[in-house]
Chain A
Amino acid sequence: MLVLKYSKLADACFVSHIDLLRHVSRILRRADIPVKFSQGFNPHALVFFSPPLAVGVASEAEYLAVDTDIGGEELIERYNRAVPSTLSATEVFECEKNPNLQGKITAADFVFDTPFKNIDLSGFVIEYEKKGKAVREDVSDRIYRVADSGGRLSLRLAAGNTSLRPDRILPELNARLGVALALSDIRKTAQYVGFANDAAGGFEDADDYLKRV
């Protein structure tokens, strides 16, 4: 199983996760990448993704696992020839089996295009609409870290099974910082597996995880 690390930038970040799944099947076909298929009555391509990214948010750390017999170098070369530069891959990892990023990813770093400022996270309450219903919740326990990333504000947010969408914290973040950040000012820079204080030694960058498995 090979895993590509790719970015989703500019125009491409407006393509939804569902549409991206369709695009990937086309990308693999036009790139002439021989993908293995599952057995059974309705065979499907053995292609796996990292957790969905909110529409409109850019990322330089998305992952795509592909079961194929060609080599890593060849995969990344063929893939990059078949995608616009806004979706290009930067790295490839070789794994024994499906790394199950969809299930393993626990957190992601997002850099916000605003000067770094240490914000008080207590009582960080967000409000949004879900299926027509207004939701109000305290999410301070899902913001794992506030950091300075080259002078910009970086937040580590819960991802995967219990996730915190960066677009949903924008209104509260803007209020606390006194700024007017938009969706296009957010960029995902890394994804993690593990947890802050677990026995395995805390958050592990998905890149390191993929090199290990």
Chain B
Amino acid sequence: MEEYKDKLYKILAQVEKPARYCGGEWNTPDMSKPRKADMCFCFPELYEIGMSNLGVQILYDVINSDKDFAAERCFAPAEDFARKLKEENLPLLSLETKKPLKDFTVLGFSIGFELLYTNVLYMLDLAEIPFYAADRGEEYPILLAGGPCAVNPEPFADFFDIIVCGEGEEADLNILRIIAESRAEGVSKSEILKRVKSVEGAYVPSLHKDGEKVTKAVLRDFENAPYPEKPLVPNIEAVHDRATLELYRGCASGCRFCQAGFWYRPIRERSAERCAELGKKMVESAGFGEMSLCSLSTGDYTELEKLEDILIPYCEQKRVNLALPSLRISSFKSDMAKHSRKSSLTFAPEAGTQRLRNVINKNVTDAELDNLAEAFEIGYDSIKLYFMLGLPTETDDDIAGIAEICKRLKGLYYLKRHKRGLNISVSCAVFIPKPCTPFQWEEQISMEEMLRKQNYLRGLLREIKGVSFSWHGAETSVLEAALARGDRRQSRVIERAYELGAKFDAWTEQFKWDAWTQAFADCGLTMGEYTRRREADEALPWDFIDNGVSKAYLLKERELGYMEATTKNCREGCNGCGALKLGRCTVC
């Protein structure tokens, strides 16, 4: 790829943050070994966002650890770099060997968020690869997609040859093996896809028949699953630039709005010994100065104390900052936070009143909020609170409850400390009904209602000193909801939006609402069709995916929600969601 390297270096001298595009990170695996097939991981966001993605790091490590295969990476370039590529007639290249994307055996897109769909097309455009699977002949790589958006892959199904529904550690490798063996036999792409269809979790849109089911891929032996012991060290500061330890997969809380909480079932924990060993290896191989514990609810991890007993002294000795994010209030223990730097605490009550928290099954009680007094006692002066607006059954009283929580916390703070005054930052997202949740049938509130609720809350919070308020854009929330529950017709919409200039939709300053509304209209659709309430007996675009949790269970959970009745944490006993059939839950 030397021919491209020289041209690339010329461009690098003329763009912002060139280290995004040059590769050569510490811990890059050996790229010179012979490869039976190779895959380029394509992440449809900027380098500093993509390099923070744990999923990509895990899968990259899995493939490069195999003797027959190699994985490389490519991130969506910023527009100045994209312009230079076009000027110099260069296609999009991989970071490691500067190989054009179109020369790989497989391109694997990781799609973690609905607002990244146009960036997939942006990358294909720069790579000089046709968007639609049907338009790509034998000469093109096989396009694979995976990641959290595979919960409902229909909006982007037409662009891909294969979509991995579920966890990729085993599926990706199996698929790559089938492709390599088939290519060696010289069989056609359609025959390859036929063979790939047998892999658990593999959805092949072009060969899918009505009524067929795709079973979500689940990694059964999570304890011994491969993990990047030698993570890549980003060239420029990434959003999450640290050693990240995944403690467990799944979540026992059962919050009814949470897609990840249902999608990643069954729950599988990793032992404290294994986690600690991985963490030490990561610090020693990469030199990270920070370590974070990652899972959907870290405070609920069974062996948390045991893990802390190993990691706290280790991190102190190595001068590594141990960060403990996204704790639930109910699992907050002040001795836990005592050992990390006292910057700010983050909690997500999600709703302002006990009533509404019961509806969504967010089991945080008002009494538990009082635990925060301990945090104030040991020196915290700043707290971040996350809420959602527009939850099912929400009234203005529930919104007023958010302001009440802030007042309550201020009261607690002054009982314990009188020094600086408490800083509270309230951040409100808009509820987005997502597939694979008990609320997947709910409607999303209208944009007018979003703005009204935001204004109402802003007014209430303005009265309280020391509280800052931030909120999500109403437009992006509507679009996200429309795409999350989208169907096959949306591939044309995404293509049209891209033609009209939409890309990097997750960046507020780049978001083009007009392009999207026009794109829907040009395809004879409206976003309202997708954000409306769905009937319980209506066929849903993602029904064909068997994710373990039965539809009957989701419906029952929704009913319980309407009744303001909570469901117990899975750790207190099995609730019978059905995910057990895909593998043993390690907590029950």
Contact = CB atoms under 8 A, between A and B. Distances in A.
A30 B287 contact: yes
Interface of A: 10-12, 14-16, 19, 22-23, 25-32, 37, 55-56, 82-84, 86, 182-184
B286 A11 contact: no
Contact of A11 (B10, B23, B283, B285): B23
A28 B286 CA distance: 10
Contact of A29 (B12, B13, B19, B289): B289
A33 B207 CA distance: 57
Interface string B231-258: 0010111000100000000000000000
A182 B318 contact: no
A10 B24 contact: yes
B236 A16 contact: yes
A11 B13 contact: no
B24 A84 contact: yes
Contacts of B233: 23, 26
8 contacts: A14-B18, A14-B22, A16-B236, A19-B235, A23-B233, A29-B289, A83-B26, A184-B12
Given A14-B12, A56-B18, A84 B235 contact: no
A172 B509 CA distance: 37
B314 interface: no
Contacts of A11: 19, 22-24, 235
A19 B19 contact: yes
A190 to B, nearest CB: 22
- Which of A11, A25, A86 has the most CB atoms of chain B within a 10 A radius of its CB? A11
A172 to B, nearest CB: 17
Contact of B235 (A14, A31, A183): A14
A14 B81 CA distance: 14
- Which of A30, A37, A83, A182 has the most CB atoms of chain B within a 10 A radius of its CB? A30
B113 interface: no
Nearest to B21: A14
B286 A26 contact: yes
Contacts of B319: 29, 37
Nearest to A25: B289
Interface string B265-309: 000000000000000000111111100000000000000000000
A12 B288 CA distance: 18
A86 B288 contact: no
Contacts, number: 69
B284 A30 contact: yes
Given A26-B289, A29-B287, A30-B284, A184 B318 contact: no
Given A14-B21, A29-B287, 8 more contacts: A11-B23, A16-B17, A25-B287, A26-B287, A30-B286, A32-B284, A56-B18, A184-B13
B286 A14 contact: no
Nearest to B289: A25
B4 interface: no
A182 B13 contact: yes
A31 B286 CA distance: 9
For the complex of A and B, 10 pairs with smallest distance between CB atoms: A26-B287, A11-B24, A30-B287, A183-B13, A29-B287, A14-B18, A11-B22, A14-B19, A56-B13, A14-B22
Nearest to B288: A26
B439 to A, nearest CB: 42
B562 interface: no
Nearest to B14: A183
Nearest to A24: B287
Nearest to B283: A29
B24 A27 contact: no
- Which of B21, B284, B287 has the most CB atoms of chain A within a 10 A radius of its CB? B287
Interface residues of B, number: 27
Interface of B: 9-10, 12-13, 17-19, 21-24, 26, 233, 235-237, 241, 283-289, 318-320
B19 A184 contact: no
Contacts of A55: 18-19
Contacts of B23: 11
Contacts of B241: 22
A84 B241 CA distance: 19
Given A26-B286, A26-B288, A182-B13, A84 B236 contact: no
Contacts of B237: 19, 22
A193 B233 CA distance: 34
A191 to B, nearest CB: 22
Contacts of B286: 26, 30
B21 to A, nearest CB: 8
B8 to A, nearest CB: 10
Contact of A15 (B10, B235, B320): B235
B24 A86 contact: yes
A83 B237 CA distance: 17
Nearest to B17: A16
Contacts of A183: 13
A31 B318 CA distance: 12
B9 A184 contact: yes
B376 to A, nearest CB: 21
A65 B18 CA distance: 27
Contact of B19 (A16, A37, A84): A16
Contacts of B288: 26, 29
B70 to A, nearest CB: 18
A11 B236 CA distance: 12
Contacts of A84: 24, 26
A37 to B, nearest CB: 8
Nearest to B234: A19
A25 B287 CA distance: 8
Nearest to A35: B319
Nearest to A83: B26
Contact of B287 (A12, A16, A28, A184): A28
Nearest to A185: B13
A31 B285 CA distance: 9
Contacts of A14: 12, 18-19, 21-22, 235
A29 to B, nearest CB: 4
Nearest to B23: A11
- Which of B235, B284, B288 has the most CB atoms of chain A within a 10 A radius of its CB? B235
Contacts of B21: 14
A188 to B, nearest CB: 15
- Which of A16, A29, A32 has the most CB atoms of chain B within a 10 A radius of its CB? A29
A56 B21 CA distance: 12
Nearest to A43: B319
A154 B23 CA distance: 30
Contacts of B318: 29
Nearest to A184: B9
B236 A15 contact: yes
A147 to B, nearest CB: 24
B492 to A, nearest CB: 39
Nearest to B318: A29
A82 B288 CA distance: 13
B19 A82 contact: no
B290 to A, nearest CB: 10
Contacts of B17: 16
